[in-house]
Amino acid sequence: MVELKNVDVHYKDGGKHGVDALHDVNIRINDGEFVFIVGNSGAGKSTMLKLLTREILPTNGRVFVNGYNLSKMKNKKVPYFRRSLGMIFQDFRLIPDMTVYDNVAFVLRVTDRSNKYIRQRVPYVLNLVKLADKAKFKPTQLSGGEQQRVAIARAFACDPKLIIADEPTGNIDPALSYEIVELLKDINRCGTTVLMVTHEHDLVQYFGGRIINLSNGSVVFDNYIGGDEEYMEGEDEGK
């Protein structure tokens, strides 16, 4: 569950009087939802993600994520809280000199999972993103789309309650962007909540679902739209 209650974020060091990056934001996202967060540059999307990962605290209001009240959380608890999150970034952030297998296994090792669990879990998640045959490759030997699929496998490996994907299709071929969202949808069907920040209107239009639109630090739209996906699937048949 993600909840922002009357949240303001004011940066003191922007301009003469600072910047109101978020103003009176109220959002509730239940477990198991898939939500697109959209908005122009400067709308407050990154600020919102920084609140959700507790990189910053709100100036006013309260933020709850996965049962934690982030405003009240002690610093020493932050690493445990972050284990309940999976992060996916525009620039993949894979470790270049590790194989695909080790990139995924690494996050499990640092969170003290047993070797037995790791030996089962890594092939399972690589299979889910259809990269089982590339386990021994290094990230540089993969396409952008494949690298992002490794990052998705890594984010999902620890079985997080919430996955936050920050412009995950920003650096990949537009035709492959749909695949990336499909994978995030598959993960969502396994019960993980997914928040995806994007500025790609075509994708949002195609998949539909719950859309939160930020503009100038405020939520200007938070509702469900029908996607084109269903009837497109029908049209694709037989091609």
- Residues of this chain that bind ligand ADP (CB under 6 A): 11, 13-14, 19, 21, 39, 41-47
Pick 19 or 176: Cβ nearer ligand ADP: 19
Pick 6 or 120: Cβ nearer ligand ADP: 6
Run of H or E including 6 = strand 2-11
Q: Which of 61, 49, 52, 54 is nearest to 75 (CA)?
A: 54
Tell me the closest approach of the beta carbon of residue 216 to ligand ADP, in angstroms: 8
Tell me the closest approach of the beta carbon of residue 44 to ligand ADP, in angstroms: 4
Q: Which amino acid is at 122?
A: V
Pick 21 or 203: Cβ nearer ligand ADP: 21
Tell me the closest approach of the beta carbon of residue 219 to ligand ADP, in angstroms: 12
Tokens of 17: 């009087």
Burial class (CB in 10 A: 0-12, 13-18, 19+), 143: exposed
Pick 41 or 75: Cβ nearer ligand ADP: 41
Q: Which of 29, 20, 27, 26 is nearest to 59 (CA)?
A: 20
Tell me the closest approach of the beta carbon of residue 139 to ligand ADP, in angstroms: 26
